[in-house]
Amino acid sequence: MPPTARRLAVPPTARRLAAGPRTRPRPHVGPPQPDTVREGEDLARVDWDGARLERVTFVECRFDDASLAELVTARCVFDRCVLTGVAMSGSRHEGSAFLSCRFDRAKLFDVTWTACKLTGSQFPGATLRPMTTTESDWSYASLRGADLSGLDLSGLRLFEAELTDADLRECDLSRADLRHARVQGAKLRGADLRGAETDGIDWQALDLDGVRLDLGQAVQFARANGALVDS
């Protein structure tokens, strides 16, 4: 057999999968110690229910279907991690950062975020309520179609957040930073927007029936819809 034929005897897919060490899910891996860094690890289906993580950094790690109920994180960083299907109900996060992470179908009900950064993270199909979030930064987060109804989101930073088709009914968005947020199709009946920063909002894309506005916002809305407002 010619040398070329021998080289092609192994299918290309098999060669590609065989390259480098194989990484398998490790459901019995314990939580890391404080001040450690984990990078590129497969932590799928780990069971860290009730664990406490302090000053741990995870970079491009996978937590698919992990059990993280009542987990506590303090000043931890999750950078570009995948948390698809993760169960995080009842967890508490203090000063932690979840940067450009994916939370597809994650169970995040009853989670508390305090002074956290969730910038650039995506939450398709995630359960997000009830939830408590204070002094946190959700800038550039994708919350398209998310049910956030009735939540207290007052004072949150939602700069350029993707809120298209989100359910924001009865939300307290007072004093929130909504500059340049995308809100087309969002449901807002009963929401409180007083004191929120709304520069760059497409007011024409909003149904403001029953929404509480301050005077400045009411003027912005009127002008966006063609009214001539005397100053």
- 38-65 pLDDT, tens digit each: 999 999 999 999 999 999 999 999 999 9
What is the C-alpha to C-alpha distance for residues 208 and 124, in angstroms, rounded to an integer? 25
**Which three-class secondary structure state does DSSP give residue 107?**
strand
- Edge-to-edge strands, sheet with 37-39: 37-39, 57-59, 77-79, 97-99
**Which of 9-23, 146-160, 190-204, 210-224: highest mean pLDDT?**
146-160
What is the C-alpha to C-alpha distance for residues 96 and 83, in angstroms, rounded to an integer? 15
pLDDT tens for 189-215 read 999 999 999 888 887 777 778 888 888
Distance of CA 74 to the CA centre of its chain: 18
| Full-model pTM | 0.81
Predicted confidence at residue 144, as pLDDT, reads 96
Sign (positive or negative) of CA dihedral 9, 14, 19, 21: negative
* Amino acid found at 169: R
Predicted confidence at residue 211, as pLDDT, reads 84
